[in-house]
Amino acid sequence: MSSREVRLGNHQPVISVRDLVVGFNEKIVLDYLNLDIRLGEILGVIGASGSGKSVLLRAIIGLVPKQQGTIEMFGENIDTLSRERRRALERKWGVMFQHGALFSSLTVKQNIQFPMREYLDLSEPLLEELAMMKIEMVGLKPEAADKLPSELSGGMIKRAALARALALDPEIVFLDEPTSGLDPIGAGEFDQLIVALQKTLNLTVMMITHDLNSLHAACNRVAAIARGKVIEIGTIEEISASTDPWLRAYFQGERGRKLFGEFAPSPTANEI
Ligand SMILES: Nc1ncnc2c1ncn2[C@@H]1O[C@H](COP(=O)(O)OP(=O)(O)OP(=O)(O)O)[C@@H](O)[C@H]1O
């Protein structure tokens, strides 16, 4: 067991993924992958395009079938749960999919109320009050409530999608590239929002991102996926010191050097 794995043992994992294998037809995407997500952390997940980051997220929440492996959430193996326990567990997480994935024919308020109607038995006035609370929580104006997604800017769509992910007061939030498509200022504000909500609501967050700024601004730890596995996991300082060629290129590229210059390893004599 490596020193990092030993250290993980001191932190309570909310999600434990063990020997996860996921593939499509002949193609194996996740190949005996192991990952622990700790209580109260914001874990960034990075990896090349097509490395399986979204597949991992979807496998954890049961949207793609796994061929092998176990996934535990809150100490419970999700494969062995009764239907009732499974539904109770589903209420404990919220997902913000890539590009928001809002229902285009529903208003922002109706989008937020959608999971509430599915999982909770609430009166209309309470549904109204709760949806407006979520809208305020993510920094949208009350006027946004009755707008359709097509009437929103990119940044507002992200916030509305986050509000929907928070609809059931989840303990875990999965974010798939939350800042993609936002300008740097909008992305920075969204990172701050995620950090503020994580602290206020005691969330555990798994955030897939390509955004180096987000890793720096929001994530407590980062997991790097390659060749179907988590090849490195740790703080940004630890990850950016990795000798893995993809990670070196990632952190030592022009954008990486600007942000992580102080952590990036300098080339060794025989590499110069
Ligand atoms: N439903 C599916 N059927 C077949 N192949 C799939 C399916 N979902 C994902 N894949 C394949 O699995 C691989 C990993 O996809 P995934 O979307 O997880 O990558 P990613 O790391 O999230 O990439 P990106 O950063 O570009 O979003 C890709 O080769 C993709 O084509």
Chain segment 91-100, per-residue pLDDT in tens: 999 999 887 6
Which amino acid belongs to residue 166?
L
104 pLDDT more than 50:
yes
Q: What is the pLDDT of residue 8?
A: 40
208 bridge partner residues:
45, 176
209 pLDDT more than 80:
yes
Mutate to test the pocket of ligand 1, among 53, 66, 229 (most ligand atoms within 8 A of CB): 53
The confidence band for 258, taking pLDDT boundaries of 50, 70 and 90, is low
Q: Which residue has the higher pLDDT, 240 or 206?
A: 206
Q: Whose CA is nearest to atom 9 of ligand 1?
A: 55
199 pLDDT more than 60:
yes
Q: What is the pLDDT of residue 211?
A: 86
Q: Which of 119, 50, 59, 111 is nearest to 91 (CA)?
A: 119
254 pLDDT more than 60:
no
The confidence band for 180, taking pLDDT boundaries of 50, 70 and 90, is confident
Q: Residue 241 and residue 164: Cα distance in Å, rounded?
A: 37
The confidence band for 181, taking pLDDT boundaries of 50, 70 and 90, is confident
> What distance in angstroms lies between residue 59's CA and the mean position of ligand 1's atoms?
12
Q: Which residue has the higher pLDDT, 183 or 166?
A: 166
Helix (H, G, I), strand (E, B) or coil at 253: coil
Percent of the chain with pLDDT over 90: 64
Mutate to test the pocket of ligand 1, among 22, 26, 45, 55 (most ligand atoms within 8 A of CB): 55
Q: What is the pLDDT of residue 220?
A: 93
Mutate to test the pocket of ligand 1, among 31, 33, 46, 54 (most ligand atoms within 8 A of CB): 54
Q: Using the CB atoms, write b or e for 162-173: b if 16+ within 10 Å.
A: bbbbbbbebbbb
pTM of the model: 0.88
Helices 124-137 and 154-165, packing angle to 10 deg:
130
7 pLDDT more than 60:
no
Q: What is the mean pLDDT of the chain?
A: 87
> What distance in angstroms lies between residue 103's CA and the mean position of ligand 1's atoms?
22
Q: Whose CA is nearest to atom 2 of ligand 1?
A: 24
Q: What is the pLDDT of residue 12?
A: 83
Q: What is the pLDDT of residue 257?
A: 54
Q: Residue 30 and residue 21: Cα distance in Å, rounded?
A: 5
3-state secondary structure the chain: CCHHHHHHCCCCEEEEEEEEEEEECCEEEEEEEEEEEECCCEEEEEECCCCCHHHHHHHHCCCCCCCEEEEEECCEEHHHCCHHHHHHHHCCEEEECCCCCCCCCCCHHHHHHHHHHHHCCCCHHHHHHHHHHHHHHCCCCHHHHHCCHHHCCHHHHHHHHHHHHCCCCCCEEEEECCCCCCCHHHHHHHHHHHHHHHHHHCCEEEEECCCHHHHHHHCCEEEEEECCEEEEEECHHHHHCCCCHHHHHHHHCHHHHHHHCCCCCCCCHHHC
